[in-house]
Every structure is written in C-alpha cells, then in structure tokens.
Amino acid sequence: MTEPVRSRRSPEARRAQLIELGLELLATRTSLDDLSMDEVAAAASISKGLVFHYFGSKRDYQLAVAQAATDQFFQVTDPDPTLDLDAQLQQSVVAFVAYVAEHRDIYVNLVRGTSSGDEAMRRLFDASRQRFVARILERLGMVDEPSPLLLLGVRGWVALAEEITVTWADDMAPDQDTLIRLLRDSLAQVVLLALTDDAPSVSLPASVVAG
C-alpha cells in the first residue's frame, strides 16, 4: 500500500499553526512565561528547533501569541459601524464581557502582562490600550482632535474596564448583565460629561444619556 504523501506547510501557514497552538495552551496557563516550547513543538509534531527557526526566541514566540490574542479580542469586540452610537456601545460591551467569560485565562494573561519586566511586552500591551482608545474615539468621530478632557476620560475608562473585568473574571460575580450595564453606563457617562464640558454642540443619543 502506498503511504499518503504529507503536504509541507508554507512558512506563513506554519507560523499561523504555531501561534494558534500557543493560544490554545495560553488558555490553560497562568502567564505567557508558562508557554512551553517543548509542548508547542510536540503539539505541532515538529522539533523545538524548528519552532525557534520560525520565531527566533521564546520571547519572540510569546510576543507573537500575545499579539494574536490581542487581534482576536479586537476582532470579536468590534461593533457594527452601521449601527447608531448607542447600539454600537451595547454590542461592543456585550461582546467584551462574553469574550472575558469565554477566554478568561487568555484575557487575564493579556491584562496582567502589563506587570511584565519585558519592555517589548509592555509596549505591546500599551499599544493595545491605545488601540482600544482610538477605536472609541473613531466611533465618536473625534479620532483626529479629541479634547484633552475626552482623551483623558476615555483612557481612564479603558484602564477601569480592564481592572473591573480582570477582577470579575475571578469568580464571575455579579452576573454578566450587571457587568455589562456597569461598563456601558460608565463609558456613556464619561463621554457625555467630556463632550458637554468641551463640545456642547456634540450630543449622544437620548438613550445613552438616560442609560
């Protein structure tokens, strides 16, 4: 009997496979540093040396996995831009909380990675926060010249949301609907106060103001 011929993966496909395996392993680890290159290689049925061939070092691999996890988070929490602002806020926060509930360990690893002593890792997490802030400002139509107060408020809310959700992930209390209301209403109020103070001509939908 003729044995089946194994197809060789392209470098891009192999890197994508290894990153996907890293995401799966990260979901069961307490930190990025706990990702084992031996386990990754075994799961991919390749040598550890080949993993290093594609990523250079363990830290480079960890950064690639962390970046992929960040991209995944932004993809699933990106609201439909055709919806009104109120509906976008609701949709995004619902997706945010659902992601944390479903990918608890990955999310906690990402947020708590800010305490890492690795400068490259800190830059990645800082870029993630800036990306979060920029998306909120973009949906408000103020990404180019946000007022200092609005920028401060949105940045503060992102930090608040991270702390709240990481703490909530420990025991999932209160329930998800309550957490969604807390995150949604707090952002709406921060934006409302900033816009009212610095830009009275810009208003949010009445439903956001009323909560």
pLDDT digits (tens, 9 = 90+) for 22-60: 988 887 776 777 888 899 999 888 889 999 999 988 889
pLDDT by residue for the chain (211 residues), tens only, comes to: 443 334 467 888 889 999 999 988 887 776 777 888 899 999 888 889 999 999 988 889 988 998 998 999 999 999 999 999 999 999 999 999 999 988 888 888 777 765 556 788 788 888 988 999 999 999 988 878 889 999 999 999 999 999 999 899 888 899 999 999 999 999 999 999 988 864 444 455 555 445 4
CA distances from 6 to 40, 66, 155, 162 (A): 20, 30, 50, 44
How is 153-168 classified by DSSP, letter by letter?
HHHHHHHHHHHHHHHH
- Domains of the chain (ranges plus CATH)? 11-60 (1.10.10), 78-210 (1.10.357)
Dist CA 51 CA 20 (whole Å):
13
